Structure 1
Amino acid sequence: MKAKAVILAFAATVSLMAHSATAATEEIRTEIKPIQFNGDINWLAFDLPNVQIRYFSQDQVAVWQHIDVNLIKQISYNVARILYKEEHKAPKLPLLEIVLEDMDGVAYKEGDFSGAKIHISAQYLNKYKLTHSPQAVYDELIGILYHEIAHAYQLDDHNYKEIGPVIEGIADVVRMKGGYVDFSSRKQGGNYDSGYKTTAFFLHWLESNHHPDLLVELNAQLDPHDKKKWSWGSFSKEKNINLDIAWSNYQKSL
């Protein structure tokens, strides 16, 4: 029997104080946004990864003080529940490393279900804080963690080279469901296979308006062991979606 919907929120840390660029202080809310899941006793036994957090940057990155093991485990739990309806189908990562380091770009994930490592750019976070509040910097970091931890848990057909846009789109839908994407940034243009937020906003629109559980079902289609090569064409056929018409309707809704 299904339990009632429960709110699974998270107390990462108590609210701390962070210095702004003007030397004034601003209180940061460090409790991540709650997500509502259907109650399922099986998820109480879900194995969360052993988490290691490392700091390899020569730059001081103030927001990093708010990142701890419990926070990473809660995001990991949330990500798994967003991507998988049934607990036994979700990967059980033995190890998840989170590394802040000096590098170009924003972040990337390496590894697989036997252990994953997420690299985050200290330079990106420090550049971001120049034009954003401490709270916005914290929220951006949590959003990055949602996206990259999604990569650690999602299926990918072992074919990133050809279907990278949908893989990145799925990770950004996870970030959206976590509450760390600004929907006011949606705009017309691009295509459903453009990747990242362009694809993610479209997939989220499809799920919200026409196809409940689309994200879970789409992730399942990317199982590399099902002997089926994923494509937008196979997705369209299996879900009975005319993608060109759906994209046009989505664009008109913006």
Structure 2
Amino acid sequence: MAATTTRQPSILAQVSAVPPQRVNSTAEVPTSKPHHPKRWHIPRLLFKVKDVSHEGAIKYFNTTNTQKLLHDAVIGVLETLYTHETAPTTQRSITLILQSMDGIAYTTGSELDNDHKEIYFSLDYICQLPDDRTQNEILGVIRHEMVHCWQYDACGAAPGGLIEGISDFVRMKAGLGPPHWTRKGDRWDAGYEATAYFLDYLCSRFGNDTVKRINLAMKHSEYTPELWMTISGGIPVEKLWDDYKTAFNLHPIPKPEPGDGEKEKEGYAAVAKEEAAAPPPSKIEAKPPQSVEKPLPIPPTPIATHASGMRLPRSPGSGDVWPFAADTPAAHIMLDRLKNMRFEGTSDATRYLLEFEALIDRLQPEMSDTDRRLLLCTSFHGSIMVDWYEKSCRAVTYPQLKEAMQEAFRNY
């Protein structure tokens, strides 16, 4: 009988003694589609320099990454003024153009159409910026101008102060506001930082999206004062502005009427005659009158440069009070004269210091040398004085500052 052969189990059977399990195919299939984050619409970002050898261009290239500057500016504006659902998508290009010109910067539509925007930035302005402020100022100016490329303007009917205020609001929320900005302003639509601070107050009161709602309300409709009633739930803008000034103690203190005393009349006439004979003070922005019934706060006096709209940080103040001698018409005149004094480094410092010290001695002869120095620094005006103070006299006593001024500006 022939031998029977025993069939060996297959290699697969030897390797896997466990019977194969049925796979639940539904467990491996994703239950939802992959999440793709929404993206902002970024138009073409272009760049032109009219004079690469200009000192302002050299300063720009040494401090600025243009691609990052423009890209971050677009994203920052869209995030502050819009959501992904409301952001405009019609802009086709934005071109930054550096050239020599007066002023600081402006934005306009291109020759093609309004969907191509052009931002013009002054090389002369960049040139005169202090080294420690150049980078942040460039970022801040471009952020402000980039808002003009995207914001709505109520079909051209929006107040100019509101348009500029929204631009400075976006710049401020990005942390790019210059150090000289203050909460001053006689009207809510004074524009720039005055309106920006007001808008920031409204956000704290009615919600962080308040400026977004204001901007979107001006997309298709012409501007009317009812816009503020809608935003605030029925409160007119004049009342909102008054509430803002009350919240930050910005209301001016009325100046009392001069008394009828004969001595006060004589003092007023004497000083008025002296003022008429003296050269008129430099033209400055008018300030609201203040009372001398109690210590007067020293008003912030920014140090301006020759470029329009650019003011550098003021020197530190001498405290929270303004010393004065008496509540007389003469004291009022001398106090106003002292507040309005400006020194631009284009005249003899000795004569200026004599007038400065004479007013101090009439108003508060016991003022300390330190306070005199700090008060004097607040009267410095213009790029010449800014540069001179920063480089030569930043940490000195009043006598040293006085001597340095007389020496530096003796022959003007």
Q: Shorter-normalised TM-score: what interval?
A: 0.7 to 0.9
Q: Once the 2 structures are TM-superposed, how far is the Cα of residue 63 of structure 1 from its aligned partner?
A: 3.4
Q: Distance in 2 between matches of 1:91 and 1:241?
A: 33
* TM-score normalised by the chain length of structure 2: 0.46
Q: Once the 2 structures are TM-superposed, how far is the Cα of residue 172 of structure 1 from its aligned partner?
A: 0.9
Q: Is 2:240 aligned against 1:246? A: yes
Please state whether the residue corresponding to 2:38 is helix, strand or coil.
helix
Residues 15-94 of structure 1: pairs in structure 2 closer than 5 A: 43-44=38-39, 46-57=40-51, 59-61=54-56, 62-65=58-61, 66-94=64-92
CA contact (8 A) 2:107 2:145 kept: yes
Q: Once the 2 structures are TM-superposed, how far is the Cα of residue 166 of structure 1 from its aligned partner?
A: 0.8
Residue of structure 2 equivalent to 1:237? 229
Which segments of 5 or more consecutive residues in structure 2 lack a partner in the other structure? Answer: 1-34, 249-412
Q: Once the 2 structures are TM-superposed, how far is the Cα of residue 81 of structure 1 from its aligned partner?
A: 1.3
Q: Percent identity?
A: 24
Q: Which moved more, 1:203-212 or 1:137-146?
A: 203-212
Indicate how the Cα distance of structure 1 residues 173 and 91 shifts in structure 2: closer, same or farther if over 3 A, else same: farther
Paired residue total: 205
Q: Once the 2 structures are TM-superposed, how far is the Cα of residue 177 of structure 1 from its aligned partner?
A: 1.3
Residue of structure 2 equivalent to 1:135? 132
Residues 61-210 of structure 1: pairs in structure 2 closer than 5 A: 61=56, 62-65=58-61, 66-111=64-109, 114-127=115-128, 129=129, 132=130, 134-159=131-156, 163-182=159-178, 185-210=181-206
Q: Once the 2 structures are TM-superposed, how far is the Cα of residue 212 of structure 1 from its aligned partner?
A: 2.9
Offset from partner CA, 1:39-75 (integer Å, 9 cap, x none): x96532x221211111113622233211322331121
Indicate how the Cα distance of structure 1 residues 60 and 184 shifts in structure 2: closer, same or farther if over 3 A, else same: closer
Offset from partner CA, 1:93-136 (integer Å, 9 cap, x none): 22110011011111000116511000001111222x2xx3x231
- Higher share in strand: 1
**Letter matched to residue 71 of structure 2:** K
Which segments of 5 or more consecutive residues in structure 1 lack a partner in the other structure? Answer: 1-39
* TM-score normalised by the chain length of structure 1: 0.73
> What is the alpha-carbon root mean square deviation over aligned residues?
2.2
Please state whether the residue corresponding to 2:94 is helix, strand or coil.
strand
Q: Distance in 2 between matches of 1:135 and 1:92?
A: 37
Q: Distance in 2 between matches of 1:168 and 1:108?
A: 11
Q: Once the 2 structures are TM-superposed, how far is the Cα of residue 222 of structure 1 from its aligned partner?
A: 1.1
Higher RCO (Cα < 8 Å, 6 or more apart): 1
Q: Once the 2 structures are TM-superposed, how far is the Cα of residue 184 of structure 1 from its aligned partner?
A: 6.5
